[in-house]
Amino acid sequence: MTTWQAEPLPLFQTPEWARLVGVFDLETTGVDVENDRIVTAHVGLLDADGHVVDARDWLADPGVEIPAGAAAIHGISTERARADGAPAPRVVAEVVDALAALFAAGIPVVAYNAPFDFSMLKNEAVRHGVTPIAAPSPVIDPLVVDKTFDRYRRGKRTLSVVAEHYSVPLESAHEACADAVAAGRLALALAEKFGPWLPSTLDELHTRQIGWARTQAASLTEYFVKIGRLDATAPAIDGAWPIR
């Protein structure tokens, strides 16, 4: 993958991080970040207008059966993964390298609900003997940003719903490429809408999201206890971000 270098923006324009953003998404065998496996992955790069500058996709043979429910969502069966997928250790290593190149260049990586993708990738890296990205940074999570600046909007906060709210097209939802690109364009839409109130630097934006995610998890825990979905003595929802 291309080695990218970020350049500073002139003053009084959109936040500097909106000039060039990386995008990252995984489709998996399930939602357990410790035990499920990567099936497909996408790492790419968008310019300030949301155009795809560079992109790479992977299909992995996860080494385990892909449950029918997961296959129905992302369209990859066990048979296809075994026939066409690359060995999981190689895929994991290449995805880690692609993301590390973006971070090394100072380019933020957009991931919707970042703790899922980065935690899954970390655990897969450990499983396959690949050095993990232990502290991914800088990361932009449109889910965290949206919930911070439009906290009381009713309705679900899935990628498809939030993308529609901000008029960001999402075709072929639950394909890693489509979801990653839509998340990147959503981050750019949020930068345009909330730019005057967002941190102008990547370091501050990343740090702020750590606190925002923690606050959101605490609020959700309180709400779940209130409606009886979570016992008051149960552990609170994990608010660690961007990796758990």
Residues with Cβ within 8 Å of 51's Cβ and at least 6 positions away in sequence, in order, are none
Taking the C-alpha atoms of residue 35 and residue 63, their distance in angstroms, rounded to an integer, is 12
List the domains of the chain with CATH numbers: 16-226 (3.30.420.10)
Report the DSSP pairing between strands 109-110 and 20-28. parallel
Contact criterion met (CB below 8 Å) for 22 and 188: no
Q: What is the DSSP string of 122-182?
A: HHHHHHTTPPP-SS--SEE-HHHHHHHHSTT--S---HHHHHHHTT----STTSHHHHHHH
What are the φ/ψ torsions at residue 41 (nearest 5 degrees)?
-145, 155
Taking the C-alpha atoms of residue 183 and residue 51, their distance in angstroms, rounded to an integer, is 13
**Residue 37, H or E segment:** none
| Amino acid, res. 200 | S
Output the pLDDT for position 159: 97
Output the pLDDT for position 53: 96
pTM: 0.92
Task: Profile the chain (244 residues) by mean pLDDT over runs of 10 residues.
Answer: 47 74 98 98 97 97 97 96 98 98 97 98 98 98 98 96 97 91 98 92 96 97 94 94 96
Output the pLDDT for position 161: 97
Output the pLDDT for position 24: 98
DSSP state of 117: H
Residue whose entry in the numeric block shows the structure tokens 């232990």: 134
